[in-house]
Amino acid sequence: MQLAKKQLLTRFQSLIALALMIVALSVLSDKFLTVNNARNILLQISVNLCLSVGMTLVILTGGIDLSVGAILAFAGAVGAGLLKNGVVLQPLGLHLQFTTSGAVLAGLAVGLLLGWFNGFTITRLGLPPFVATLAMLSIGRGLTMLWTGGFPITALGPQFGFIGTGYLLGLPMPVWICVVLVVLFHVIARNTRFGRYVYAVGGNERAALLTGLRVDRIKLAVYTLCGLLSAVAGLIVTARLDAADPKAGMGYELDSIAAVVIGGTSLSGGRGSILGTVLGCLIIGVLNNGLFLLDVSPFWQQVIKGIVILAAVAVDKLGAKRT
């Protein structure tokens, strides 16, 4: 009975932590528990949630991706640049203009390509994920600066802006995009053969190899999907700002990893869930929002966030030892 209680507590620890935070902040601030503030929190976490869903898949295989912020910036910049300026093919004397849909698809294609390249360097060249994605972080930042010339690309039009600032049934479009992605990847992770393979690779890669799983293909697919979701986040950020900022997404990889870990996904792989990551994003979003409403110094906010991450990793390690 006692063991069952401990397992139940471990399973729902993120949900319990979120509930306690909501109760505490509701008492401390009369502005917290309002419809507008709840909508604001959901909007604030939307970008991190897009990144974190992809990061969850990567970490479930025992990997890591430090390049999501850089891919976000470059995909958003490419989409914005093609929409605003098109592309000139000088040898053919052509100037191609892009519609909103075409620019969005181009941004998504950039994310897919860079994510695939991450997976290629890890699976084919044998580089550690930390090193490969750290290199991509630098490559992505450099490509963004080269593409934009170091200046924002602005005035992208209302059609593109609807992705980031539009509303549907009272909720912002970024929230709806996240809802679709969460449902889709939760189903993929829990109810498909690919999802089971992802957990198997993270749980015991050698055993997965011995059972005949194509581990390299699974990892390649996971990093490619992570790149695609980073591009989605990049397009949302660009649409919300009505500008592609060359410095967009800096530090976002840390928030993404934090949300995944706080949500209960093990850094060693094989254990965690998409829904847990949603809770992790909500915890970070509620924490940031509550500290802002309480007028806590931004410097102390960073300290508190770091302590929360340390606590989450410590709980994960203690839980792993007990099992």
pLDDT tier at 209, thresholds 50, 70, 90: confident
pTM above 0.95, yes or no: no
Q: How many CA atoms lie within 13 A of 117 on its CB side?
A: 16
Tell me if 15 is assigned to some domain: no
pLDDT digits (tens, 9 = 90+) for 36-67: 888 899 999 999 999 999 999 999 999 999 99
| Residue 135, domain extent | 29-322
Nearest to 221 by CA among 112, 86, 64: 112
pLDDT digits (tens, 9 = 90+) for 77-136: 999 999 988 877 777 777 778 889 999 999 999 999 999 999 999 999 989 999 999 999
Q: What is the CATH number of the domain that holds 118?
A: 1.10.3470
Tell me if 118 is assigned to some domain: yes
Tell me if 124 is assigned to some domain: yes
Give the chain's domain count.
Answer: 1
pLDDT tier at 3, thresholds 50, 70, 90: very low
Tell me if 7 is assigned to some domain: no
Check: CB of residue 80 under 8 Å from CB of residue 156.
yes
Entry field: residues in the chain? 323
